[in-house]
Amino acid sequence: MSVFVIAEAGVNHNGSIKLAKKLIDVAVESGADAVKFQTFKAENLVSKTAEKADYQKKTTSALESQFDMLKKLELDIDTHKKLMVYCLKKNIIFLSTPFDHDSIDLLNDLGLKIFKIPSGEITNLPYLSHIGSLNKKVILSTGLSNLQEVEDALGILINAGTLKENITVLHANTMYPTPMEDVNLNAMLTMRRELDVVVGYSDHTLGIEVDIAAVAIGASVIEKHFTLDKAMDGPDHKASLEPEELKAMVGAIRNIEKALGSSEKKASPSESANINIVRKSIVANQDIKKGDLLTDKNISIKRPGNGISPMKWDSVVGTVALKDYETDDLM
């Protein structure tokens, strides 16, 4: 099955539908399967006194509250509809992460078939129950979480009405950017083994190496932030990929998909033509007359490989030549 690549535009549109459409164009050009935004009402998401994360203080005005920062990044209903129509026109899946109950209802009313749950909501029982009750496909990010919290969230979604087979669990780290030593990619495999779920990876590291590694070890979904320009103002631009980086990541993922192949060990079509060139056969090591005894002195093993296989050496040595051979003749 093909890896589902989500190009995470997030709030990198900076509140502009023009920029949002440009981000969609970049996602299409990269070969991603979906482009994802974020849906929220600032007043439902954060109190007016809530502080920003340290990384947000570095990438936006330190004097601005988290509420004020987010308020500027909201997308209204009309913008959602226009972006969905644009995605349909561009043949890419529109996704958006809801951060509150009103936003869940909005996206459900708009007909979204996949709901993405952010890491920060994994301990929000009413929120999880709300999404679970919709019985849609769910992608659950697990940054900040331990295994028990992930298991608890899964239980809530399933008990509310979502089929387990419709849930994909993403390993994640909620630091922008994530230090390499904190990625802990093996935890993705732990969740797959212990929770018996389909897994993927939501990446906040710089670069594309970890995304490629995640696919190589079994990720079925990759989510990665991208931007038009890392130098733009906003909380997430600096920890995002630029267009050419996103395209390179998707291309590398598609190559890894091909390279993984099947679990069957056999000669590939491309190498089969080289079998007789690279392998060896039993050949005459000197001129041999009909009736001569074949020994390890008058026969040897050389290329090409279209004669008697060296694996039959023991059954050939000690037999009698049935015809004359010149040096290097295949036996």
Q: In the structure, what pLDDT confidence band is assigned to residue 75 with cuts at 50, 70 and 90?
A: confident
**Separation CA 59–CA 38 (nearest Å):** 18
Q: Which residue segments constitute the domains of the chain, with CATH numbers given?
A: 4-260 (3.20.20.70), 269-316 (3.90.1210.10)
For tokens 């981000």, name the residue: 23
What is the value of pTM for the model shown? 0.88
The chain-wide mean pLDDT, for the chain, equals: 94
- Cβ-contact 241, 206 below 8 angstroms: no
- Cβ-contact 174, 121 below 8 angstroms: no
Mean pLDDT of 215-235: 93
- In tens, the pLDDT along 1-31 reads 699 999 999 988 988 999 999 999 999 999 9
